Structure 1
Amino acid sequence: MSTAAVRPATVADAAEIARIQRDTWRTAYADLLGEDTIGALDLGELTARWAEAAEHPETDLHVAVEGSFTVGFCVAGPAPAAEIAAADGSLPPDAETTGLIATLLVEPRWGRRGHGGRLLAAAAASLRERGAGRGVTWVAQSDSASLSFFRGAGWNPDNTVRTLDTGERTVRELRLTGSLELRLTG
């Protein structure tokens, strides 16, 4: 049986993170984002962005591994004001202690093995170390698997929505929030 773990990412992981993003978006999000959007993903550009993220002091980038395979990743950090503001632009009282789970992806072929939960737990621990007590993330309203995953961790929609334009489609996202003292369930 292979060993599964989560560890901090390094610049050397950037190419695998980029590949996971591209492949997962192709497999799981092509209908949501559109074929042109997915086709426009450039591995070189993605790799450069993830290398920068791995070195950014305000970013916590983790990878999930199973045996010798990198199977997923999560990026988190302090939540920018734009990510936690109310529709009128006002900030919540805990704005300074709110973290953002910007991306959490596990390749579909490696799903249902606990990698997502381990990634979220590692990101939550990193955010708690930075002084955060609450987290937020954005999930496409039509992404029932991700919504179910975050609800299983005790995170729920806070009635804030946004619409993203991919250039080909619009994607309605729900903001979810919850404690960084997670309760992960199967």
Structure 2
Amino acid sequence: MVTADVSVRLAWADDAPAIAALQLAVWRESYTDVLGTQLDELAPSDLTERWAATVNAPRDARQRVLVALERATLRGFAIVHPCFDDDADQIQDGEIGEFVVALEHRGHGHGSRLLQACADTLRADRFTRAVWWLRSTDDATRTFATTAGWAPDGAHRELAAPTGATVKQVRLHTRLV
């Protein structure tokens, strides 16, 4: 029997260039309508230093970057941390701050493994609830999340982009205990 060599682990600083390249590729697919030509001006190297700092010196001890791998190739990443929403309990509420799987590798199990690792990591840091803000028009990710046991909690927000466009988001939540 042949098994796939896939895994999820904590990110290393050496992962920063691959994380930055994947983030930019997915942003170009998903946020061109919001960020416009600003995306054309960005290069992965512009984001690499920020990711290396996030991995090496997180702003909170409970902030973690996780990477989904196929062999040694990065297929996705996520960042988890305490939830900083106004209505959150920063001791009990954790958040998935970003969740990205390469578009061409969706449906291969990387997202499911990564989402489970996010929940396990938040649980290990003693969070009892997790939240995840999703773009209101991202039906595929919302379906993926609700199938995994996440549900809307009624919260919503609008974020203003530097281009003047807005992004509407809905918040999902799940219990971790």
Q: TM over 0.5, yes or no? A: yes
Hey, what's the Cα distance between the residues in 1 that align with 2:158 and 2:68? 29
Greater Cα offset, 59-68 or 33-42: 33-42
Hey, what's the Cα distance between the residues in 1 that align with 2:41 and 2:155? 29
State the Cα RMSD in Å: 1.7
How do 1:29-108 residues align onto structure 2 when only pairs under 5 Å count?
Answer: 29-31=31-33, 33-55=34-56, 56=58, 57-80=61-84, 83=85, 85=86, 91=87, 94-108=89-103
Greater Cα offset, 103-112 or 37-46: 37-46
Hey, what's the Cα distance between the residues in 1 that align with 2:41 and 2:173? 31
Task: In structure 1, give the amino acid aligned to 2:17.
Answer: A
Hey, what's the Cα distance between the residues in 1 that align with 2:109 and 2:7? 10
Hey, what's the Cα distance between the residues in 2 that align with 1:17 and 1:3? 19
Counterpart among 170, 173, 177 of residue 177 in structure 1? 173
TM-score by length of 1: 0.85
Do structure 1's residue 109 and structure 2's residue 104 form an aligned pair? yes
Show the counterpart of 1:126. 121
Do structure 1's residue 139 and structure 2's residue 139 form an aligned pair? no
Show the counterpart of 1:158. 153
Hey, what's the Cα distance between the residues in 1 that align with 2:159 and 2:126? 30
TM-score by length of 2: 0.89
User: What is the SS of the residue equivalent to 2:45?
Assistant: helix
Task: In structure 2, give the amino acid aligned to 1:79.
Answer: C
Greater Cα offset, 127-136 or 34-43: 34-43
Overall identity of the aligned pairs, in %: 33
What residue ranges of structure 1 are gaps of 5+ in the alignment?
Answer: 86-90, 182-186
CA contact (8 A) 1:37 1:167 kept: no
What residue ranges of structure 2 are gaps of 5+ in the alignment?
Answer: none
Task: In structure 1, give the amino acid aligned to 2:44.
Answer: L
CA contact (8 A) 1:141 1:174 kept: yes
TM-superposition CA deviations, 1:9-43 (whole Å, max 9, x none)? 01000010000000111123323x24224224342
